[in-house]
């Protein structure tokens, strides 16, 4: 059983929680490879996907995971809702829950939005990304994909490259990979590196060649221009020149490095097409694994919620 009936962030999960999610995801991955890809594990459970910020992968992956589990699914996007008329987040969610909805999956631009909501409602909440804070299911599917490709994470050297400052993927990955025993190094321009990030137990390397020489796996992040209120580097061209991952650079390093990216990709900026689509890239495996991992999270969060009700 999970130690929590919510998934607010990786920070709140134990190593045992993460391993339980992976074991359950292994089972659901097998289900997804059957001719009939559905199981009745969440029949009669109603889930709302509340997306206050744009998404392609996460929203579709959650909806597909819910449908594969036979849950009833509602989708909400801000642009077509009464949020634009001034309704608060708590009022919006309480009105949806009044219609007998059991679980909330939420993406929100404000860091801490899922934690805030959890204090005000009774339903289980899964954080699908809250601003620059956490993106727990992305970190889980990333770690699951690394484990699938290179084996258990203990002692593995994982590099996270790019816009660390604005990245919820980076923070959730740091928590998740460290809980599983991996070594984590960060690389990017000094202006996109959070101050005192070393206090989380990670190393920082500003030289991309040295960073790549060190790692087994490189997780390449997008420059999040939509979260940047000032200019953090002179131009995208300059960023690409110093920190972009391309085949010439990898050839110079001369070792096989597993390449990851959470998407969406800005081809030719943080990663070249040759590398993103190359033989060492597991970018689409990450997307595929996302469905099984999210099925596992939804199922286990629901089980924990049912157990809490039974013990009340």
Contacts to ligand CP by CB under 6 A: 55-58, 129, 135, 138, 262-264
- Is 148 or 203 the residue whose CB approaches ligand CP more closely? 148
Distance (Å, rounded) from C-alpha 287 to C-alpha 262?
8
For ligand CP, the closer CB: 63 or 205? 63
Q: Where are the beta strands (DSSP E) in 52-136?
A: 72-77, 103-108, 124-130
Q: Which is nearer to ligand CP, 9 or 262 (CB)?
A: 262
The residue whose two tokens read 């059991």 is 102
- Residues in CB range of 79: below 8 A, 6 or more apart: none
CB of 186 to ligand CP, least distance (A): 18
Please answer whether residues 129 and 55 qualify as being in contact, where contact means their C-beta atoms are separated by less than 8 angstroms. Answer: yes
Nearer to ligand CP, 57 or 227 (CB): 57
Mapping DSSP onto H, E and C, the string for 64-82 reads HHHHHCCCEEEEEEHHHCH
Nearer residue to ligand CP within complex by CB, 128 or 212: 128
Our CB check for ligand CP shows the closer of 167 and 305 to be: 167
Q: How far is the CB of 128 from ligand CP (least distance, A)?
A: 8
Q: How far is the CB of 184 from ligand CP (least distance, A)?
A: 19
Are 218 and 161 in contact by the 8 Å Cβ rule? The answer is: yes
Nearest distance from C-beta of residue 293 to ligand CP, angstroms = 12
Our CB check for ligand CP shows the closer of 181 and 264 to be 264
CB of 127 to ligand CP, least distance (A): 11
For the chain, how big is the Rg over CA atoms in Å?
A: 19
CB 129, min distance to ligand CP, A = 6
154 burial (CB, 10 Å; 0-12 / 13-18 / 19+) is exposed
Which residues, 6+ apart, have CB-to-CB distance to 233 below 8 Å?
189, 191, 192, 239
Least Å distance, CB 190 to ligand CP, is: 25
CB 180 within 8 A of CB 160: no
Nearest distance from residue 256's CB to ligand CP, in Å? 24
Q: Which is nearer to ligand CP, 56 or 88 (CB)?
A: 56
Cα–Cα dist 8/5, whole Å: 10
Residues paired with residue 130 on neighbouring β-strands, in sequence order = 108, 134
What b-and-e string marks burial along 34-55, b requiring 16 or more CB atoms within 10 Å of the CB?
Answer: eeeeebebbeebbbbbbbbbeb
> In whole angstroms, what is the distance from residue 67 CA to residue 38 CA?
8
């Amino acid at each position: 059983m999970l130690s929590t009936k919510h998934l607010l962030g990786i920070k709140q999960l134990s190593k045992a929680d993460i391993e339980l999610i992976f074991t359950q995801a292994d089972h659901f991955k097998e289900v997804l490879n059957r001719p009939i890809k559905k199981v009745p594990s969440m029949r009669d459970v109603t889930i709302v996907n509340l997306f206050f910020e744009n998404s392609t992968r996460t929203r579709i992956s959650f909806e597909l995971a819910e449908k594969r589990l036979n849950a009833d699914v509602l989708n909400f996007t801000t642009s077509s809702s009464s949020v634009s008329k001034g309704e608060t987040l708590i009022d919006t969610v309480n009105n949806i829950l009044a219609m007998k909805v059991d679980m909330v999956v939420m993406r929100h631009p404000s860091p801490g939005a899922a934690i805030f909501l959890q204090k005000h409602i009774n339903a289980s909440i899964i954080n699908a990304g809250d601003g620059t804070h956490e993106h727990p299911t992305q970190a889980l599917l990333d770690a699951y994909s690394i484990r699938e490709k290179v084996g258990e994470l203990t002692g593995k050297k994982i590099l996270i490259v790019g816009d660390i400052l604005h990245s919820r993927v980076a923070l959730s990955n740091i928590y998740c990979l460290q809980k599983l025993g991996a070594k984590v190094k960060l690389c990017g321009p000094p202006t996109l590196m959070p101050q005192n990030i070393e206090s989380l137990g990670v190393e920082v390397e500003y030289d991309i060649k040295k960073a790549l020489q060190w790692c087994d796996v490189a997780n390449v992040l997008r420059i999040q221009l939509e979260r940047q209120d000032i200019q953090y580097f002179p131009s995208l061209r300059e960023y690409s020149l110093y920190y972009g991952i391309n085949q010439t650079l990898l050839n110079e390093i001369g070792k096989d490095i597993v390449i990851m990216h959470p998407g969406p990709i800005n081809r030719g900026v943080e990663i070249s097409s040759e590398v993103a689509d190359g033989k060492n890239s597991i970018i689409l495996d990450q997307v595929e694994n996302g469905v099984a991992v999210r099925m596992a999270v939804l199922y286990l969060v629901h089980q924990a919620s049912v157990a809490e009700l039974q013990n009340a």
